[in-house]
Amino acid sequence: MQAEVQNAASGVEFVSFFAGGQSFSINITDVREIRRWSPVTPLPNAPREVLGVMNLRGSVIPIYDLAARFGLQPTPESPRNVIVVAMHDEQTVGLLVEAVSEILSVQRAQIQDTPDIRSDNARKSITGVITIEQGMTRVIDLGAVIQTFAKTAA
C-alpha cells in the first residue's frame, strides 16, 4: 500500500511479458488491452515478423511477432500466446507474445541504461532495462519498434 502511494508520485508502470524466452516491458500507458490469439489474415509479401492483420472491433490492426522482431526465434503456436494491443500516436498495433508476466511498478531511477546490444534494430527499440526477480526485463520503445518495421525493407 505504502509503496503504491510512493510510486504514484515518481513511479512508472509497465506491463511485462515473455517473447522468444526473454522478458520485455512496455509502458502501461501505451497498452490498450490484452487479447487471446485469434486467426490472422496474412499480408502479401510481408516480412516474417508481420503475421498479418486482425479485426479488432471493426478496426484493422497489424499483428507483429515480437520475438521475430528482435531477431529471436518466431513464436511457436501455444494456447498461452496472447496479443498485446498497444497504441502509439494514432496507430494501434498488436504484438504477439508468449505470455504476459506481471505489472511492474518502478521508480524512474530503477530503469538502467541498456548495456551494449549488438543488433542495430534492437538498440533503437530498447530504452532501458529493469532488474526483476527473475533477472532482467528490457523496456521497449513502442514508437521505435513500429518505425523500424517500416525502415527494414526501405
Partner 1 sequence: MGSLNTIRDTFFEECEDLLAALSEGLAAMLGGMLESETVNAVFRAVHSIKGGAGAFALADLVTFAHRFETVLDAVRGGRLDADADLLHILQRSADHLTDLVEAARNSEPADPDASARFLANLEACLADGGIADTAPDQEFSFAAVTLDFALLEPADSDHPTQHQFDIRFAPRAGLFANGHDPALLIATLAEFGSLQTTLDLSRLPDWGTFDLETPFLDWNIRLTTSASETSLHEVFDFVDGLCELEIRPVPEPVLEPQPDFELETNVPASLKSQAAPKADPLDPAADARAANPTLRVALERVDRLINAVGELIINQAMVAQRIQDTALAADADILAHVDDYRLLARDLQEAVMAIRAQPVKPLFQRMSRIVREAADATGKQVQFVTVGEATEVDKTLIERLADPLTHMIRNSVDHGLETPEVRLAAGKEACGTVRLSAAHRSGSVILSIRDDGAGLNRPRILETARRKGLIAADLDLADAEIDALLFLPGFSTAASVSNLSGRGVGLDVVRNAVTSLGGRVSITSIPGKGTEFTLTLPLTLAVMDGMVISVAGQTLVIPTISVLETIRPAPSDLHRVGTDEVLLRIRGQFIPTIDVARCLGFTATEDSGQPLLLIVETENQTQCALMVNAVHDQRQVVIKGLETNYGAVNGVSAATVLGDGRIALILDPDAIAAPRAAPFAVNAPHFPKFEGASHAG
- Name the site residues for partner 1 (rule: CB under 8 A): 39, 41-47, 50, 52-55, 58-62, 90-93, 149-154
**Min separation Cβ 99 and partner 1, Å:** 24
* Interatomic CA distance for residues 25 and 45, integer angstroms: 29
CB 121 within 8 A of CB 71: yes
Name the residue nearer to partner 1 (CB basis): 63 or 106: 63
Choose between 10 and 152: whose C-beta lies nearer to partner 1: 152
Give the nearest distance from C-beta 54 to partner 1 in angstroms.
7
CB of 74 to partner 1, least distance (A): 16
Measured CA to CA, the distance from residue 76 to residue 4 in angstroms comes to 36
Question: Rounded distance, CA 104 to CA 11, Å?
Answer: 10
Q: How many residues does the chain have?
A: 154
